[in-house]
């Protein structure tokens, strides 16, 4: 997959290097050509000098063939504008933005673009959003046996009840995030496209959770 990263600070350069290491093609945009030094001499992706929301700059970075776009510059406005251009003008499927103002981040989430405020932000979370990982561990209690897993509701589970996913995976639903707002689901809650379900599980059944979600996505269950 081709990924465009807007912003070559510590965050953007770390994401770009990690993406390239795991086999993706990467283009990095920054206004300051000196910023590309952070990528190191071994980086083989494109380095595009310009504004991340400028149409030609984005085209030079290969936005028209990109499967993902990360807006991680130091400015909220630039990140918001460039993320919207990537999503709305070029139809990039996976778009994520770094937002410093947590209140603005909440609004942006409701627009359908995952945004990460500064305090809880990590490179791993951004990578998870960009690559659309369906199941990921988000917390583990001190003994290490019980964990919380975030499940992105896949097409095969849309329209089905939470109780069905619990029965198939063995996990227990903790909370549901829908349109950027968390809620406590019931057994009869029907899953919708775009839902993020957090489930409690143990190490013994974590593989089963992955398998259940991926099976439904492939239409084999």
Asked whether the CA dihedral 42, 44, 49, 54 is positive or negative, the reply is negative
Which residue segments constitute the domains of the chain, with CATH numbers given? 2-131 (3.40.50.720), 135-218 (3.30.70.1450)
Determine phi and psi for 55, rounding to 5 degrees: -55, -45
pLDDT tens digits for range 18-72: 999 989 999 999 999 999 999 999 999 999 999 999 999 999 999 999 999 999 9
CA distance 28 to 82: 13
Which pLDDT band, with edges at 50, 70 and 90, does 219 fall under?
very low
pTM over 0.75: no
Does pLDDT of 157 surpass 90? yes
Report pLDDT for 210.
86
CA distance 31 to 120: 26
pLDDT tens digits for range 104-154: 666 666 666 666 654 444 465 566 566 666 787 778 776 678 889 889 888
Residues 6+ apart with CB under 8 A from 165: 151, 157, 171, 173, 191, 197, 199, 212
Mean pLDDT of 180-206: 91
């Amino acid at each position: 997959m081709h990924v465009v990263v807007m912003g070559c600070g510590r965050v953007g350069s770390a994401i770009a290097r990690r993406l390239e290491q795991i086999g993706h093609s990467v283009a990095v945009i920054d206004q300051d050509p000196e910023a590309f030094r952070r990528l190191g001499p071994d980086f083989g992706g494109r380095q595009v000098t310009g504004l991340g929301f400028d149409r030609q700059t984005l085209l030079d970075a290969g936005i028209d063939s990109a499967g993902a776009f990360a807006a991680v510059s130091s400015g909220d406005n630039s990140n918001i504008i460039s993320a919207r251009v990537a999503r709305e003008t070029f139809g990039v499927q996976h778009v994520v933005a770094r937002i410093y103002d947590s209140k603005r981040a909440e609004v942006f989430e409701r627009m359908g673009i995952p945004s990460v405020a500064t305090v809880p932000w990590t490179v791993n979370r951004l990578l998870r959003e960009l690559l659309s990982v369906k199941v990921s561990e988000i917390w583990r209690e001190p003994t290490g046996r019980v964990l919380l897993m975030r499940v992105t509701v896949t097409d095969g589970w849309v329209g089905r009840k939470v109780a069905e996913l619990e029965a198939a995976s063995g996990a227990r639903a903790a909370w549901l995030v829908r349109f950027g707002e968390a809620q406590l689901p019931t057994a009869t809650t029907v899953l919708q496209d775009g839902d993020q379900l957090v489930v409690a599980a143990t190490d013994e059944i974590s593989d089963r959770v992955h398998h259940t979600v991926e099976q439904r996505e492939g239409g084999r269950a």
